[in-house]
Copies of this chain bind each other. A is one copy, B any other.
Amino acid sequence: MNEDSRSPEGVFPGRDHDHLHCVSAALAQAARLCRERGARLTPLRARVLEIVWQSHKPLGAYDMLAVLAAEGRSAAPPTVYRTLEFLLEQGLVHRLSSLNAFVGCKRPGHTGSGQFLICESCGNAAELNDGGVERAITRSATAHGFDVDRHTVEITGICPECR
């Protein structure tokens, strides 16, 4: 049993998923982390983080831009990309390179790049932090004399809700 399995609901949001709480908890934790670090979670940054968290489907930068623009904020691509750069640095969001899209980080403050399960049917993505996968990757790379900096693990398939 790994730590992901301990959560009361699965890694994918189920029918009983309280999304409002999920978003507000993520924002509260982000605010706390930034305060501790002396990083500035400005209104724009908080809003972009909230937009990212508004669903569990990875969201493209231009989709976020459209939301901001619809709210009347002055917004151009650099607005969003710079904000995402900050959120990535703080470990508050992840970028899924196989989708060119972004999702909220489930465990901000923890180390490791995580792994992602991406459902081809509903588009939801779930973050895992599986020690077994991490170890297998580290072991394999190390066995070839490779010094790991970070890694990208994106697993595409069908989620339990969609089966």
Where the two chains meet, the residues of A that have a C-beta atom closer than 8 Å to any C-beta of B are 2, 4-5, 10-12, 97-98, 115, 117, 119-120, 126, 128, 130, 132-133, 135-137, 139-141, 143-160, 163
Are the CB atoms of A149 and B120 closer together than 8 Å? yes
**Contact of B144 with A10 in the complex, beta carbons under 8 Å:** yes
CA gap between A63 and B10 in the complex, in Å:
43
What is the CB-to-nearest-CB distance from A29 to chain B, in angstroms, rounded to a whole number? 23
Count of this chain's copies in the oligomeric assembly = 2
CB contacts (< 8 Å) of A137 on chain B: these are 115, 133, 136, 153, 155
A160 touches B144 (CB 8 A): yes
Contact A117 B144 (CB under 8 A): yes
Whether B157 and A141, one on each chain, are in contact in the complex, defined by CB atoms closer than 8 angstroms, is yes
CB–CB B157/A147 < 8 A: yes
| Selected A-B contacts with CB under 8 Å, 13 pairs | A4-B144, A12-B146, A115-B137, A120-B149, A128-B140, A130-B140, A135-B136, A136-B137, A141-B157, A145-B159, A148-B156, A148-B157, A152-B156
